[in-house]
Amino acid sequence: MCQEGKGAWRTLACTIVRPGRAKAGCDYDGQPDFAFAPGRATFAHGLRMFPRDDEHIPDWLRQHSEEAAE
């Protein structure tokens, strides 16, 4: 899912609450807790594919993207 100006979500949590029912929540701003982190260029690519307005770029995402550009 992508929201114009807000970009794509980074983390999805899905909880099964009872058989046949589930709750899901998307996190657009939190830094994902990867077991194996992708390269910095992956984050920069994500911003190109799913642009965010400046006020919707979290500090961690901005830093990773800037490091990829160096």
In this predicted model, what pLDDT tens digit does every residue of 4-49 receive, in sequence order?
A: 888 888 888 899 988 888 988 888 888 888 888 888 888 889 889 9
Q: Which residue has the higher pLDDT, 58 or 70?
A: 58
Domain membership of residue 21 as a residue range: 2-69
DSSP state of 32: P
Burial-class residue 7 by CB neighbours within 10 Å (0-12, 13-18, 19+). Answer: buried
Instruction: Kindly report the length of the chain.
Output: 70
Asked if 51 and 8 touch (Cβ cutoff 8 Å), the reply is no
Count of structural domains within the chain = 1
d(CA 55, CA 17): 34
Which pTM does this prediction carry? 0.74
Residue 54 has pLDDT above 90, yes or no: yes
